[in-house]
Amino acid sequence: AHPGGSPAARAALPATDRRAAPPPGAGLMPINGKTAVVGLMGWPVSHSFSPAMHNAAAAALGLNLVYVPLPTPPDLVAEAVRGLRALGFLGANVTIPHKQAVLPLLDEIDAGARATGAVNTIVVRDGQLRGANTDITGFSQDLQALGVPVAGRRALILGAGGSARAVAYALGMAGATVTVLARRPAQAHRLAADLAPFLPPAHTPRVDSWDALAAHAAADLIVNTTPLGMNPHDDASPWPRALPLPPHAFVYDLVYNPPCTPLLHLAARAGISHANGLGMLLRQGAAAFTLWTGRAPDLNVMAAALPLAQ
């Protein structure tokens, strides 16, 4: 098995070549009175790979910018968001559990954030707080880089949380027929209802029972958005081991740590093309970086900075 995907699948993912990133401490811009600041708002944020990824990208471009963790208790979200503008931040990423809570605090939100009801990137520009959801961009761009066709294909999404909303919107906008399976049907139905006003009827997600996996053997694309396969569920697979995966499908697991989850092991053993979510992580981060700076970061540099590459 090839961690993170079949050879053909992951060929499009930037190689995590340590030579692409500066050695620790080398090439880093000094922090001074002109240093621009961005950060990550969440609770907690100590586990995040984002600071390493973004600081490496900024250093490689010679930008006087620093990306810092911003641990934000839920009862202080409003103060923290207002503080971004007051303190002259370029912006911030937003992670669990604040992606929904920040929406009413912003001056503008883009179409994707409005449709999914979630913001993962705030940009401060001309005194305005603007929200975006670059998870949508990251997922779409990674599928494109992997050469996975979407238009007219049958997509099956496992899970109905915040990530599933971004995936369902991205797939629906790209012309896929989307079905969502979740252990909590009410959550899946709410996802479909919330996305319906923003998608053509033919591409609005349908909902089926979690127990109906076997009825979706014709799926062309299977996307796991659940935490199954990630610590502390790293032995679990959302797809039953006894149920064969559709042989013609592409299997995409948003989990990237561990690089080869039980679901991806199943796909590898069956000779089915597959990929983990590392490319989505990198590409959503790169999209946010570009929104803040107007510069396109080097994905190889960002990948090499991740602890997974060390």
Question: Which residue ranges make up each domain of the chain?
Answer: 7-134+280-309, 136-277
Active site residue 34: no
pLDDT value at residue 230: 86
pLDDT in tens, the chain (310 residues): 333 444 334 434 444 433 344 444 445 668 999 999 999 999 988 888 899 999 999 999 999 999 999 999 999 999 999 999 999 999 999 988 899 899 999 999 999 999 999 999 999 999 999 999 999 999 999 999 999 999 999 999 999 988 999 999 999 999 999 999 999 999 999 999 999 999 999 999 999 999 999 999 899 999 999 989 988 888 999 999 999 999 999 999 999 888 999 999 999 999 999 999 999 999 999 999 999 999 999 999 999 998 765 5
* CB-CB contact of 298 with 289 (8 Å): no
Residue 87 CA to residue 3 CA, distance in Å, equals: 42
* CB-CB contact of 143 with 166 (8 Å): no
Listed in sequence order, the residues at least 6 apart from 73 whose beta carbon sits closer than 8 Å to its beta carbon are 43
pLDDT value at residue 28: 60
SS3 117: coil
Torsion of CA 48, 51, 52, 54, to 10 degrees: 130
pLDDT value at residue 21: 43
pLDDT value at residue 3: 36
pLDDT value at residue 79: 98
**258, two tokens:** 């561990």
Please identify which residue in the block is written with the tokens 């100590």: 46
Same fold, 7-134+280-309 and 136-277: yes
Residue 108 CA to residue 114 CA, distance in Å, equals: 10
Task: Find the catalytic residue in 10, 98, 99, 274.
Answer: 99
pLDDT value at residue 67: 97
Indicate if the alpha-carbon torsion angle 251, 257, 259, 264 is positive or negative: negative
Q: Cis omega before residue 7 (within 30°)?
A: no
Residue 184 CA to residue 210 CA, distance in Å, equals: 8
Residue 57 CA to residue 65 CA, distance in Å, equals: 10
* CB-CB contact of 292 with 123 (8 Å): yes
Residue 51 CA to residue 289 CA, distance in Å, equals: 12
**Residue 151: left if φ>0, alpha if ψ -120 to 50, beta else—which one?**
beta
Q: Provide CATH code, domain 136-277.
A: 3.40.50.720
Question: Which CATH class, in words, describes the domain spanning 7-134+280-309?
Answer: alpha beta
